[in-house]
Amino acid sequence: MDQLRETLKVHHLRTTTCREDVLSTFINRKNALSHGDLEGELGENYDRVTIYRTLKTFLEKGIIHKVLDDEGLRYALCSHSCSEEKHQHDHIHFKCSACGETNCLENLHIPAVQLPEGYHPEHFNLLIQGVCPKCN
CA separation for the pair 74, 92 (Å, rounded):
14
Burial classification of residue 115, based on how many CB atoms lie within 10 Å of its CB (0-12 exposed, 13-18 middle, 19 or more buried): exposed
Question: What is residue 20's three-state secondary structure?
Answer: helix
Residue 32 burial class via C-beta count within 10 angstroms: exposed 0-12, middle 13-18, buried 19 and up: buried
In whole angstroms, what is the distance from residue 60 CA to residue 83 CA? Answer: 9
18 annotated among ligand-binding-site residues = no
Instruction: Judge whether 104 is annotated as a binding position.
Output: no
Cβ pair 94, 103 in contact under 8 A: yes
Query: Is 96 annotated as ligand-binding?
Result: yes
Residues of each annotated binding site for Zn(2+): 96, 99, 132, 135
- Report the binding-site residues: 96, 99, 132, 135
